[in-house]
Amino acid sequence: MTTADDLASELGAPAAAVRSVALSHLSLELGHLYMDDFLAGESRLRHQFDRVRPWAETAVRQARESLPRGRPRISTCFLIDDYFTRFSTPRDVVTSLVAAAGAAGLTIDYVARESGCARAGNVDVARLVQDHLVDEPAEGSNGRPAATVSGWLTNGQRSPAASASAMAAPWQWRPPRQSAVQNHSIFVDIELWSGPDDDRLWSCPFLAAVWQLQRLGLLRHLGEPVTEPVSLPPAALPAEWELMPPIVRLNPDAAPFHAYRTFTAMDARFLPIELAVRTILGNVTIDPGAAAQVRDRARGEGLTLPEETLDRIGYAFL
């Protein structure tokens, strides 16, 4: 992932002052589930958190051991898919999640709506991130438009398209090629969205990439954090998903939502999605003001963060 000094200024406008956010040492995501998992009932939810608990405990211990001094600030979170499927109500879903996590000895500090990774209030969050995509390879390398036009992003050089000309020489296939290859290529080609420009359906990997940037405290719109948590107990959540804030703070004593590093424990079925997420994030430029604030805050605590933002993201695939 790269940074660009001119990202804070768009279309020649003066750069906006970048407001900082409170930061934990670690944002710990306690899994991800599909609608079918929720419909399977309480036993399925409890099984999920029972599987996650050992990995969560390990992540907490490692965060504690990595600190040069003091106690680690660790917050937990859970992302609910209300973008591709709508079911039940926020109040019922979150109450079930909190109860199942509690039975496994875990506390959910924050819950978030996946729809909030597409739009939060008046901010088109997904398009904000899309506008900071850098194409790889160069536009026109095989006749396909840039990612911001086509909605497809790759991690290298695609196979060239066959010539449609009747007079052209016989076409010879050439394999795709990963850019940062080690011996053999692992080439991926990712659909970022579908549908018309004015009514896009963003892909799961793209929204998950936005989610990681949110957790790392690196998203800004005109210098302001895109979404900040709203404190609500589960019983006070609305009956409609559209009325639920993008990020809700359930635990009044929770450490900050944003963090220097993220860790997610999830089923192995999500591994292909996370490969796509990392490919997307490797092609997103970060607001230099936000990036500098996070680095400086970490140094002030005696911590050295990896230069590459991707290296601040960890996983356990169950």
What is the b/e burial string over 133-148, where b = at least 16 CB atoms within 10 angstroms of the residue's CB?
Answer: bebbeeeeeeeeeebb
90-121 pLDDT tens trace: 999 999 999 999 999 999 999 999 999 999 99
Judged on CB neighbours under 10 Å (0-12, 13-18, 19+), 104 is middle
243-287 pLDDT tens trace: 999 999 999 999 999 999 999 999 999 999 999 999 999 999 999
- Given pLDDT bands bounded at 50, 70 and 90, which one contains residue 143? low
- Given pLDDT bands bounded at 50, 70 and 90, which one contains residue 145? low
The C-alpha atoms of residue 315 and residue 135 are separated, in whole angstroms, by 26
Judged on CB neighbours under 10 Å (0-12, 13-18, 19+), 155 is buried
Is the pLDDT confidence value at 308 over 50? yes
Is the pLDDT confidence value at 158 over 80? no
190-247 pLDDT tens trace: 999 999 888 999 999 999 999 999 999 999 999 999 989 999 999 999 999 999 999 9
What pLDDT does 35 receive?
83
Judged on CB neighbours under 10 Å (0-12, 13-18, 19+), 17 is exposed
- CA distances (Å), origin 298, targets 5, 119, 270, 286: 21, 29, 30, 17
What pLDDT does 155 receive?
72
- Of 196, 207, 220, 213, residue with least CA distance to 312: 213
Is the pLDDT confidence value at 137 over 70? no
- Assigned token pair, 185: 């290529």
Is the pLDDT confidence value at 163 over 80? no
The C-alpha atoms of residue 143 and residue 136 are separated, in whole angstroms, by 13
As a whole number, the mean pLDDT across the chain is: 87
Segment among 74-83, 139-148, 179-188, 229-238 with least mean pLDDT: 139-148
Helix, coil or strand: residue 270: helix
Task: Provide DSSP, 104-166.
Answer: TT----EEEEGGGGT-BTTB-HHHHHHTTB--SS-TTSSSPPPHHHHSEEESEEPPPPPP--T
Task: Provide DSSP, 151-201.
Answer: SEEESEEPPPPPP--TTSPPP-----EETT-BSB----EEE-EES-TTS-E
What pLDDT does 7 receive?
39
The C-alpha atoms of residue 24 and residue 292 are separated, in whole angstroms, by 16
Is the pLDDT confidence value at 14 over 60? no
Is the pLDDT confidence value at 12 over 50? no
19-75 pLDDT tens trace: 999 999 999 999 888 888 888 888 999 999 999 999 999 999 999 998 988 899 999
The C-alpha atoms of residue 288 and residue 213 are separated, in whole angstroms, by 14
Is the Cα torsion angle 269, 105, 210, 245 positive or negative in sign? Answer: positive
- Model confidence pTM above 0.85: yes
